[in-house]
Amino acid sequence: MLLLWSTAPVLAQGQPQRRVTGTCPPGSSIRVINADGSVECEVDDNSGGTVTSVGTGSGLAGGPITTTGTISIAPGGVTSAHIADGTVGAVDVNSGQVQLRVTGTCTPDSAIPAVSADGAVTCQSVGRGTVTAVTASAPLVSSGWTTPNNSLPNVTIDATTLNTAIGASALRSNTGSSLNTASGAFALFRNTTGDGNTASGTSALLSNTTGVSNTASGTSALKSNTTGNFNTASGISALRSNTTGDSNTASGAGALTRNTTGDSNTASGASALESNTTGDSNTASGNGALENNTTGNRNIAVGRNAGQNQTTGSDNIYVGSPGVAAESGVLRIGTIQPTQTRAFIAGISGAAVAGDPVFIDSNGQLGSFLASSRRFKEEIQDMGEASRGLMRLRPVSFRYKKEYADGSRPVEYGLIAEEVAEVYPELVGYAATGEAQSVQYHKVNVLLLHEVQQQHRKIEEQTEELKALKAETAQLKASLETLGRMLGPVAQR
């Protein structure tokens, strides 16, 4: 006996058939399939025969099979005609396991609370009531009442004025301004009509009222600014005291922190121009640069603590030099106690110029102006015997102990400063320690000129004396010749 069955699920009334797991031994066939999947076997009456051909009926494909092959359900092979009553309905479905299609609907203002097994629905009216309360979860807050407004606290984004405020009381006093951005508690707190300001940090631009186009980044940056415009402050307390000063730029903690009304100052570095109050057009780059300048104008300082000693002077330039209080119009490069022992400046060597020589004093000051005009001098008198000491000076040849950059130590000619100091101390340049260091050869030249002039006068005097002696000698010779002629006859007698 050959049994054929489809693997497609079959839905019928009652419990579903469990998967068939029982088997029968060779020569037996399955007589009964139990609900639990077990089988009952029966010995074939004609077992051991040979099947010569297996055909396939309606809904099946793969036959006839005469040797080996596979029989399967043909596409579309199972139709309602193969179901017991010819239809698929409730009687053919186990409603305990399969939901029939939902066909029920509810009227407007109703909701479906339940769906039945047969596809019907239960409706419940929900109405159109009024919202009486809306709650908000953190960080949102609700205004409450029947028409609540939920918002993010301390955040304002105005699409009309293009103002943005983030932080407690940021832009709190704003009335008609636009294009402002405040980030941080009390940032731009008092701003009313100032436009285009940006404040980032607690109390940044706190006092600004009508100032425009200011940028403050850092706690208390530009805190006191009221009507100043075009200022930029970056760093805690940068430009903190500025009130009406314009076009200042401060970058660094405490930079320009005391500036009140000074304009067009630039400070880069912690405490740079820290004490400036009303000084204008100063530039300081470096920590502590020009930190004590108060009212000086147009000063430039580059380097850590450059111009640190400057207070009220103007038009100074300091590069790595602390400067001197209240001086004006001075250029200083390097420290007073120099850590720099050599200087290299391009564009000097090999450049031919017509002008004055350059000198340097014991303080390191450079200059070329040796005034020779009478209008710059007093107590003018002849040099007298001042040049007589030149004969006591000892010209020498020597080599410097320290070699030149190229490694050479050539023979030099000159004087010894200590020896010159014994004769002409005023011709010697002294180091800061008081030691003799150099000889002012340009003054030696004047002494030499005076000595040459004196020698010239002596030569002229001696020349005149020689002329007189020659004349006298000639006169004596003539007299002797006359006397010889007179005595000649006498001698012949």
CA–CA distance, 398 with 155 (Å, rounded to integer): 82
pLDDT for position 486: 83
Report yes or no on 21 lying in a domain: yes
Report yes or no on 231 lying in a domain: no
Cβ atoms within 10 A of the Cβ of 54, count?
A: 14
Using CA atoms of 390, 396, 398, 400 in order, give the dihedral in degrees to the nearest 10: -10
Instruction: Classify the phi-psi angles of 145: left when phi > 0, otherwise alpha if psi is within -120 to 50, otherwise beta.
Output: left
Residue 173, C-beta contacts closer than 8 angstroms, at least 6 positions apart: 189, 190, 191, 192
The helix/strand/coil state of 484 is helix
pLDDT for position 31: 81
pLDDT for position 307: 97
| Average pLDDT for runs of 10 along the chain of length 493 | 43 62 82 83 69 74 77 69 55 61 83 82 77 65 65 85 95 93 96 96 96 97 96 97 97 96 97 97 98 97 97 97 96 83 88 85 79 90 92 96 92 97 94 90 92 92 94 92 81 65
CA–CA distance, 347 with 207 (Å, rounded to integer): 51
Report yes or no on 26 lying in a domain: yes
How far is CA 6 from its chain centroid? 78
Residue 410, C-beta contacts closer than 8 angstroms, at least 6 positions apart: 399, 404
Give me the sign of the Cα torsion angle 217, 220, 222, 223: positive
Domain span at residue 38?
Answer: 15-44
pLDDT for position 102: 82
| Residue found by looking up tokens 């299609």 in the block | 101
Q: What is the pTM of this model?
A: 0.62
The helix/strand/coil state of 488 is helix
User: Domain tally for the chain?
Assistant: 1
pLDDT for position 82: 57
Report yes or no on 38 lying in a domain: yes
CA–CA distance, 256 with 274 (Å, rounded to integer): 4
Report yes or no on 28 lying in a domain: yes
pLDDT for position 26: 82
Helix (H) or strand (E) holding 138: none
Report yes or no on 37 lying in a domain: yes
pLDDT digits (tens, 9 = 90+) for 105-123: 888 888 888 888 777 888 8
pLDDT for position 5: 42
pLDDT for position 7: 46
pLDDT for position 89: 56
Report yes or no on 24 lying in a domain: yes
pLDDT for position 232: 98
Report yes or no on 22 lying in a domain: yes
